[in-house]
Amino acid sequence: MVAMIGRRRRIASVHASREAALADCQWRREQVVAYARFLEDARDPAPDYHIALIYKGELPKGWMPMPALGILHGRFI
């Protein structure tokens, strides 16, 4: 699963099946809706999640799954 934050594309999570990716994508979108007020006040745009085929070789070295809202230390990553 991929998160688009502005023009930046970040790999949010990797799943073995499309069904698992779709379920996680839906959950992440619900989280964004739940925190809409917070996101309106944030300086950065909210992440937009979608499904994309990603090969292991495309993962950056040291990659870790991204939090649902893509937030660390109060900022989008």
The pLDDT confidence band at residue 68, using thresholds 50, 70 and 90, is low
pLDDT value of position 72:
47
Of 77 and 50, the one with more pLDDT: 50
Q: Nearest-CA neighbor of 63 among 15, 11, 21?
A: 11
Q: Nearest-CA neighbor of 56 among 14, 8, 2?
A: 14
pLDDT value of position 75:
54
pLDDT value of position 70:
55
Q: What tens digit of pLDDT does each residue of 23-66 get?
A: 988 888 888 787 777 767 767 677 778 878 888 888 888 888 77
